[in-house]
Structure 1
Amino acid sequence: MDLGLAGKVALVAAGSKGIGFATGKMLAQEGCRVSICGRTQDSLDNAISEIGNGLIGIVCDVSNPNQIDHWIKESISKLGPIDILVTNTGGPPAGSWQVMTDEQWQSGFDSTLMNVVRMVRGVAADMQQRGWGRIVHNTSLVAKEPNALLPISSTLRAGLMGLTRLQALELAPHGITVNSVLPGHTLTDRQIHLAEVRSQRDGISPQEALDKQAQEVPMKRLGTPEEIAAAIVFLCSQPAAYITGTNLLVDGGLTKGLA
């Protein structure tokens, strides 16, 4: 299948590792010119050296509005107008909602929800003028099925589902689709960290915690970043032009709800 992505310019947030890295790599393989961002130059350099041509990296903390603006403007300067935006961030801290501080809640809001508002705001007007765009938010299944270990993430990612639908309705007349991908248990640095938290809580080893997470999935394994990236890249494609406002679970059947 021709995804119709050759020559498109894509931004991928938090693209130096994990799902963001896999997404940036896959978009580059499809012929996109890709700008990834990450917190450190070293991590970006490592990603660029592995992916090769078609990729640039710019240091950006996506919880910082000034750095988001710089990333977008610098990317446009080097690559041209933005066709595709993939928002993506690491999750807020784990633990009971009763012990989370106001500062942790506010930080989570800035890094999980408000950063998405800022990134879309930075590219949407130009996409509207040109009559084409793809926006995909990489989020989490906790948006649909809250996790007591992840109260901030569960709360804010549910809000991101609403924002996805709102943006999709507003931008659809301009040829822009907006969708979210909700990964389940996926073998990333974040998942390994959560396994460590769970191991401390349950008195088991981190590997045992990872194995338990895998057994919770009907497929009896963790997903890979590449499997999540494949869904994201398809939603960026021309064949996905009639899909918008959806929140796509990619979780091996883990989520039990019907809606």
Structure 2
Amino acid sequence: MDLGISGKTAIVCGSSQGLGHACALALTEAGVNVVINGRDAAKLDAAAAAIEAHAEGRVTPVAADICTDEGQAALLKACPAPDILINNNGGPPFTALADLDRDDIRRGLEMNMVTPITLIQKVIDGMVERGFGRIVNITSVTVKMPVAGLDLSSGARAGLTGFVAGVARTVAHRNVTINQLLPGYFDTERLRQGFDATAAKSGTTPESAAQQWQQQVPAARFGRPREFAQTCAFLCSADAGYLTGQNILIDGGLHRAAF
């Protein structure tokens, strides 16, 4: 399927591994020139090489902490006028409420709410002026289906969701869209960290924890990052301009609700 975005430019945050990496790959396969990002330069370079092996578009790695002004400036120096922004960042680790302190809460909000908002601020006016823009925020199924221990991550991502809901409606007439993708249990490093945390808490093994989590999913398996990335790529496509302000679950039926 031709997505109609060959030659466009994109920034994909948190793309040295996991869902961000898969999204960057899917966009480059569609001919998009992508800036990928992570804090570990060696891991990022390896990710860039892996993507380039399949890419139609160019890949530019930028090692930076996007929670800092300097990190965001580095991304925008590499891609001053992005047509596409994929906001993705790691979340706080599994932590009991009693163990969270004020600094933890500030960091969680910075990672999963403040940082994506500030990046949107820095790119959206240019998108509006050019008459094309696609912003996708990767949040989590826990925005709709909270998981104890991920309260800070869920709360910060829910805050982002609420913040951009109004913004999305103010730019839709200029062919600029803002949507959220809410992943469930995908086979990523972060999911495996969840297995470890569950095992430590319950006195079982990570393998047993993984089996317990998988049994919760009606699809009877964990998601594949490429499945997630293909949906992300469509949201960035030329034909997705009438889809905005939405929160799209990709969870194998994990969240049991009709609406």
Per-residue CA deviation, residues 60-99 of structure 1 (Å, 9 max, x unaligned), is: 11211221122112223xxxx2100000011112122222
- Distance of 1:211 and 1:166 partners within structure 2: 40
SS at 1:239 equivalent:
helix
Unaligned runs of 5+ in 2: none
What does residue range 67-78 of structure 1 map to in structure 2 within 5 Å? 67-76=71-80
1:62 and 2:66 are equivalent in the alignment: yes
- Distance of 1:238 and 1:207 partners within structure 2: 42
Deviation for aligned residue 1:247: 0.2
What does residue range 129-168 of structure 1 map to in structure 2 within 5 Å? 129-168=129-168
What does residue range 43-58 of structure 1 map to in structure 2 within 5 Å? 43-52=43-52, 54-58=58-62
SS at 1:248 equivalent:
strand
What does residue range 86-125 of structure 1 map to in structure 2 within 5 Å? 86-125=86-125
The amino acid of 1:105's aligned partner reads I
Contact 1:65 1:118 in 2 (8 A): no
Runs (4 or more) in structure 1 with deviation over 4 Å come to none
Deviation for aligned residue 1:157: 1.3
SS at 2:119 equivalent:
helix
What does residue range 181-220 of structure 1 map to in structure 2 within 5 Å? 181-220=181-220
Deviation for aligned residue 1:252: 0.3
Contact 1:10 1:85 in 2 (8 A): yes
Question: So what's the TM-score if we normalise by structure 1?
Answer: 0.95
SS at 2:177 equivalent:
strand
- Distance of 1:95 and 1:41 partners within structure 2: 28
Deviation for aligned residue 1:39: 0.3
Who is 2:35 aligned against?
Answer: 35
RMSD value, Cα:
1.1
Per-residue CA deviation, residues 150-188 of structure 1 (Å, 9 max, x unaligned), is: 110111111122123122112112210100000001110
Deviation for aligned residue 1:257: 2.9
Contact 2:138 2:180 in 1 (8 A): yes
Deviation for aligned residue 1:250: 0.2
The amino acid of 2:169's aligned partner reads L
Contact 2:11 2:75 in 1 (8 A): no
- Distance of 1:160 and 1:121 partners within structure 2: 13
Percentage identity across aligned positions?
35
- Distance of 1:142 and 1:164 partners within structure 2: 18
Unaligned runs of 5+ in 1: none
The amino acid of 2:24's aligned partner reads G
The amino acid of 1:104's aligned partner reads D
Per-residue CA deviation, residues 38-75 of structure 1 (Å, 9 max, x unaligned), is: 10210111011111151110011121122112211222
SS at 2:228 equivalent:
helix
Question: So what's the TM-score if we normalise by structure 2?
Answer: 0.95
- Distance of 2:73 and 2:67 partners within structure 1: 11
Who is 1:173 aligned against?
Answer: 173
- Distance of 1:139 and 1:164 partners within structure 2: 12
Who is 2:24 aligned against?
Answer: 24
The amino acid of 2:101's aligned partner reads T
Per-residue CA deviation, residues 190-220 of structure 1 (Å, 9 max, x unaligned), is: 0000110000111111111111111110011
SS at 1:49 equivalent:
helix
Deviation for aligned residue 1:230: 1.1
SS at 1:10 equivalent:
strand
Deviation for aligned residue 1:233: 0.8
- Distance of 1:203 and 1:230 partners within structure 2: 37
Who is 2:7 aligned against?
Answer: 7
Contact 2:35 2:78 in 1 (8 A): no
Per-residue CA deviation, residues 120-158 of structure 1 (Å, 9 max, x unaligned), is: 111111111111100000110011111112110111111
Contact 2:10 2:79 in 1 (8 A): no
